[in-house]
Amino acid sequence: MTNIIRIKNASFYAYHGALKEEQFMGGKFEADVDMYTDFSEAAAHDDLKQTINYHEVYKYINQLVHEKKYYLIETLATLIADGILNKYPAVVKIAVRVRKHSVPVGGVLDCVEAEVIKENGR
């Protein structure tokens, strides 16, 4: 059985970007994480120890977002995906989307998003 645990719109103020101004002034970033796993036993027994603790996952994402400045949201999305797959073997597949608002592209847009999809062992 495959189930999905989703973290949606986790918001952070951070200092990522290719331009020096972005890394100095910072901006709003959001992340979505879809973790494919089997939580049927956890649900049957109402047992947090048998599933993915999304509180711990959020703390891990928050740490990655703030520990270093990255030029690319692609890098951040990849690091989040790889880290969760390594820390949580019960996650068999993951999709991570990182969004950046207030992007200096010389036009109007809502945000830019990078998505990484990986399977455990790849």
Q: Find tokens 């059985």 and name the residue.
A: 1
Q: Of 20, 28, 93, 100, which one is the catalytic site residue?
A: 100
Q: Which residues contact 8 (CB under 8 A, 6 or more apart)?
A: 32
Known catalytic residue at 100: yes
Q: Which residues contact 57 (CB under 8 A, 6 or more apart)?
A: 7, 33, 35, 84, 88
Strands 3-14 and 27-37, by their bridges, are antiparallel
Do residues 117 and 94 make contact, with C-beta atoms less than 8 angstroms apart? Answer: yes
* Residues designated as active site: 100
